[in-house]
Amino acid sequence: MSAYWLLALIPFLAGLALSVQQGMLAVTERFLRRAARRVEGTVTGQVASREATYAALHPVVRWTDADGIEYERVVPDTVSAHRLREGLRVRLLVMPGAPDTVALDSPDRYRSAVFGMWMGVVLWGGTLTAVLVRIATLLPSSCYRYC
């Protein structure tokens, strides 16, 4: 076996890491959507931040909870933030008793997490399949007599 077999580890491990990370994100999103309260909020502005190599806009949203307390927080959402203008009414997900866990009520994050998870599965599954097929073709034909 040559050293080129080690190159198959790169897409296998990358796909495995991608599917685990995105799967955890999908489970977290699903939990948030089930346990959080849905409230109406108003976009009061946008905050620019620099994530990785690009600038991202995060909406600042004001809402009132069930106890009548008014909150204003930056919502860490970059998927639909460019479409949100000041004064727009949005639906939010807020965990009871934890106003810092606010998120936009949008299925986009869950869908992208599930898509990323399946892309990781395809990557590591495809690599594993290619390696197993290659190993099967390298076996001598005498191994097939007794199977």
Express each pLDDT in 81-104 by its tens digit.
Answer: 566 788 889 888 888 888 888 888
Whether 81 contacts 61, CB under 8 Å? no
Partners of 95 in the β-ladder: 98
d(CA 21, CA 105): 21
Say if pTM beats, i.e. exceeds, 0.75. no
- 50 φ/ψ angles, rounded to the nearest 5 degrees: -110, 110
- pLDDT at residue 47 in the model: 80
d(CA 88, CA 38): 16
Mean pLDDT on 99-113: 84
Mean pLDDT on 110-138: 90
Express each pLDDT in 7-62 by its tens digit.
Answer: 888 899 999 999 999 999 999 889 988 998 899 999 998 887 766 666 777 888 99
pLDDT tier, 2 (very low <50, low <70, confident <90, very high otherwise): low
User: Do you know the residue count of the chain?
Assistant: 147
Given a cut of 80, whether residue 1 has pLDDT beyond it is: no
Q: Where are the domains of the chain?
A: 8-138
pLDDT tier, 145 (very low <50, low <70, confident <90, very high otherwise): low
CA dihedral (96, 98, 99, 101) positive or negative: negative
